[in-house]
């Protein structure tokens, strides 16, 4: 297992377009998290899954954002009708027992022009 993988690493899109990011967690981890980091801020929680169930969503996750983890393995995060304010680093992390720490991916950097 090579850790948490995120694809793509970078994405440039025009305002109004839809984008989808993928996260492949560590295979034995049943929890998967999405965070967003903007310049000068720490990572902000968006949502998390335990297996295929989405257990919590942040207020930051507007109606334009949707996340899925259909088979309890990889996850996708889709942003519809992107806005310039969506430009950020989108981080995915996974864990088995969360007290033992998360393993993060390298992130997807989204730029909306």
Partner 1 sequence: ILNVEQSPQSLHVQEGDSTNFTCSFPSSNFYALHWYRWETAKSPEALFVMTLNGDEKKKGRISATLNTKEGYSYLYIKGSQPEDSATYLCAFRGSQGNLIFGKGTKLSVKP
By CB under 8 A, name the binding residues for partner 1.
3-4, 33, 35, 40-45, 48, 55-56, 91, 98-107
In the complex with partner 1, the residue whose CB is nearer, 22 or 80, is 22
* Residue number, 44 or 68, with CB nearest to partner 1: 44
What's the rounded Cα separation, in Å, for the pair 107 and 48? 16
Contacts of 67 (CB under 8 A, 6+ apart): 34, 46, 47, 49, 54, 61, 75, 76, 77, 78
Give least dist CB 98 to partner 1, A. Answer: 7
Nearer to partner 1 (CB atom), residue 20 or residue 104: 104
Q: Smallest distance, Å, CB 48 to partner 1? A: 6
How is residue 20 written in tokens?
A: 């989808």
Shortest distance in whole angstroms from residue 87 CB to partner 1:
17
CB of 96 to partner 1, least distance (A): 13
């Amino acid at each position: 297992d090579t850790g948490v993988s995120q694809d793509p690493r970078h994405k440039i899109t025009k305002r109004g377009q839809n984008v989808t990011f993928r996260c492949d967690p560590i295979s034995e981890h049943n929890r998967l998290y999405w965070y967003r980091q903007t310049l000068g801020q720490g990572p902000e929680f968006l949502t998390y899954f335990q297996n295929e169930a989405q257990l919590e969503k942040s207020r930051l996750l507007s109606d334009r954002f949707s996340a899925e983890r259909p088979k309890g393995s990889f996850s996708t995060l889709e942003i519809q009708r992107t806005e310039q304010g969506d430009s950020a680093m989108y981080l995915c992390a996974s864990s088995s027992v969360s007290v033992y720490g998360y393993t993060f991916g390298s992130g997807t950097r989204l730029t909306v022009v």
